Structure 1
Amino acid sequence: MNKFWIIAGDVYKKNVRSVSFLIMLLVPFILGGIVYAAGYFGSQSEEVDTIGITSSSTELAEGMSDSAPAGYNFKVVDSQDAGENELSAEEIDALFVVDTADNNQLDGTLYSESNMGQSVELTLQQMLNDIQTNMRAQELGLSADEVNSLNQPAAFEQQSVSFTDAGDMQIGEDSEDFNFAISFAATIVLFVFIITYAGIISQEIASEKGTRIMEVILSSTRAQIHFYGKLVGILFVALTQMVVYVAAFAISYQWVKDIEVVKNLLDTVSLKGVFGTFLMFTLAFLILGIFIYAVLAALCGSLVTKTEDTSKVILPVTYLSLIGYLLGISLGSFDPSNIIIRITSYIPFLSSYLMPIRLANETASIQEAVISLVILVATTVLLTIASAKMYKSNVLVYNDKGLLATLKQSFTLMKNK
């Protein structure tokens, strides 16, 4: 047991003290700072793009200019030719030409040397739609109030409900959107952690095997102890990274909780409901997901003959993780009741991505989550034990004929023992 902790401690210290780990820790904070700075300076910028407007109807062009939304600067130009000259001279940033057909059909064309962005295009499109609606309403003899009544959207609200033993329905607090945001973030975090730590642990093992140091190490300790020590050391590194992010969130929460947007969000959810069963299951699937992929990556890394082949041998880990990630981001987000999502949420390697999303969308019960978690735990244990037994044979086999040939030779060596 002493050798186990020595190996685990060595792996942990080596990775935590590395420059790459520090960079990995700081990247989310750097990206967050860049996004915040971009948003802040963007909101402080006083530069407004000037859009020239011309139309066969001067009244229409002047009306659009007078009703310019906040953050837009419209300028009426006499004709399209005049607008093109001003656009060429960079006196305006874009030219918006509006033509009117006989049936009150408006056709707008935006000319610009550079892309103005989708926000500008959608705003101009909405303005044309509103003007065209008003023109056709006047043609039909409708008043402004009648037009507003027609454009009034229907009210829609979703309520989370539960039923008592007597069958009475009770309205509960709806935290579905907030839960979904957490599960969506957990999906991204899981994918990033899997790719990162699968590479680290496979490189750890492959580098020792490639330099033949592994043979010296296994002469002084059991292969299983070395395998488990590597796994636990890497898992502690991942947990350290999680703890740092949780601590950073807890500290920053003291500043962001008073922001208006955050306050409005917190008023709509029950923190007791969020930081309860759902969060516990999400964390359990997250940690187990990282661990089972780390075991698979360690197994693949032990089959490497040359260190430079590490990136190739962990491709099964990468592709398997990518399948779970894409299912969670696509089908899991937009169709959580899909039969594919329901089935794969019980399959190990994929359930870590999909079951938290099903829980967030309330398409899976606690009982179903427990079943999926038990299957994942059992698979993780069995895979870990099997990988540990194969580890000694794997790290002593050197075969240049590929992964399957190495694995076949390893099985032969195990049988002979």
Structure 2
Amino acid sequence: MFKQMKLVAGQVYRTKIKTPTFWLTVLTPLLLPIIGLIIGFVIAKTSDHSPARLAVVDNTALVQTLKTGKVLDAKISEVADVKTAKQKILDEKLDGYLVKEDGKYTLVAGTDSTTKFNETTVKTALSQIELAEKASHLKLTTEELVSLQTPANLTMKTLGKKGESSGGEAKNAANNAISVLISVVIFMLLMIYSNMLAQEIANEKSNRIMETLLAATSTKVQYFGKILGVGLLVLTHIVFYVVLGVVAAIVLKGNQMVESAKSMVGGVDMSFLLYAVLMLIVGLAAYLFLTAITASLVNDQSQVQQAIAPISYLSLVGYMAGIFGAEVPNNIVLKVLSYLPFVSPTFMPSRLALEISTSTEAYIALAIQLIALVLVAKFGERIYAKNVLSYSDEKIFKQLIRNLKK
């Protein structure tokens, strides 16, 4: 039987992977970041990287301080009055001018200038100058000034039911980003491959191909073989993305977007990453079995979307609960949902990432989801065998309820 199952899985895998539609499906989610990288690269290459032209109005001391300290990436000059500065901006000879009156600074930037001033950067630079002037008036030494500017040495740790751990907000943020990514990946892959599996089954039923296939094999072989074949396609999809990510990290080394992604991955707790991957695998497998169950009830291609819609909504429950539940993490309803099969794959990782749930609780949820996977697989086998050659005109939901009762 296993040999026949391998043949069915191989046939599904080879048929789909050779089609342009499959690779278009795989590559489509990458179009947006690729387009963003291309646009960013073009803008970076075609932009004018010359420093901004900034004039200081009637303040020689400030001009000398800005030039000497090099606290601003700008070409500093001095003008006699505001009128002259405004005219130079209109003539596009300046990008902006700086005025100091009564201890207050005003920066006026030209709207037509291609070089823009960052308010935070300018404010930080002027604050450094003000601090140095005050230190001079107070007759502070350079060492004393540096000591005053040295930030406090703080180490963040967290204490929960599973003990004390280091990393603080940085680790939690990285873990949370991965949990969100897992939820998005589950939903995206579910949309793609549940539809693919349902289309495969519906096509064989509507064309009466299934009757021929079952003459040579059993419903059990077809049921598990198709899910195994689609599972291999999911694995190919994920491996392709991982390989592409590694290649991008090597080729685009130094790119801001790539470096941000690497720093995020580097901050992830490896034990959490292992748990998230396990939950991803078990959750996706369970959803595929659910899809096979509902797809066996359809008669033609027009009913496919009707069959997989409830599964899509179910996958969204955990994701939405994770978003809105961050404000009330100890809510009893949310605690129950985090253990609920088919909801926990997209919900429990976010609770573990924020250390609302312990590792023990997370693995209990994983075990419950694994048990649900086995039960749904065995239960689905019976429903699939009963309905794969049935061509009822009843609505899919009514057929499912009738099957559950029996």
Q: TM-score normalised to the size of structure 2?
A: 0.70
Per-residue deviation, residues 311-356 of structure 1 (Å, max 9, x unmatched): 465343334434434555x578x77955476544322223223433
Contact 2:383/2:403 (<8 A) preserved: no
> Any idea what SS the aligned residue of 1:314 has?
helix
> Identity over aligned residues, as a percent?
25
Deviation digits for residues 99-147 of structure 1 (CA, Å, limit 9, x no counterpart): 5453x33344544348978x93432343344455567x47985747566
Matched-pair contact (CA < 8 Å) for 1:303–1:395: no
**Structure 1 residues 390 and 129, CA gap change in structure 2 (3 angstroms):** farther
* Equivalences for residues 8-407 of structure 1 within 5 A: 8-23=9-24, 47-48=48-49, 50-54=51-55, 56-59=57-60, 62=63, 66=67, 67-69=69-71, 72-73=74-75, 86-87=88-89, 90-91=92-93, 94-95=95-96, 97-100=97-100, 102=102, 104-113=103-112, 120-131=118-129, 137=134, 141=138, 143=140, 149-159=147-157, 176=171, 183=179, 185-211=181-207, 213-214=209-210, 217=213, 222-246=218-242, 274=270, 277-304=271-298, 307-308=301-302, 310-311=304-305, 313-325=307-319, 328=322, 330=323, 339=331, 342-391=335-384, 392-393=386-387, 396-397=390-391, 399=393, 405-407=395-397
Checking the alignment, whether the CA contact within 8 Å between 2:290 and 2:311 is kept in structure 1 is yes
**Is 2:52–2:73's contact at 8 Å kept on the other side of the alignment?**
no
> Residue by residue, what CA displacement relative to the aligned partner does 1:138-183 show, whole Å, maximum 9, x if unpaired?
79857475665554322211357899xxxxx998899946656655
Q: Which deviations, in whole Å up to 9, do the C-alpha atoms of 1:252-294 show, x marking residues without a partner?
A: 88999999x89x979x98x9x83xx544422211101211222
2:344 maps to amino acid: S
SS in 1 for 2:118: helix
Q: Distance in 2 between matches of 1:109 and 1:364?
A: 52
Contact 2:60–2:78 (CA under 8 A) maintained in structure 1: no
Q: Label 1:407 to 1:185 Cα distance change in 2 as closer, same or farther (>3 A).
A: closer
1:249 and 1:220 mapped to 2: Cα distance? 43
Secondary structure of residue in 2 paired with 1:199: helix
Segments of 5+ residues of structure 2 without an aligned counterpart are none
Distance 1:414 1:323 in 2: 23
What secondary structure, in the 3-state scheme, does the structure 2 residue paired with 1:349 have?
A: coil
Instruction: Report the Cα distance in structure 1 between the residues aligned to 2:389 and 2:80, rounded to whole angstroms.
Output: 80
Structure 1: segments with no counterpart, 5+ residues:
164-168
Count of aligned positions: 393
What's the Cα RMSD here? 5.1
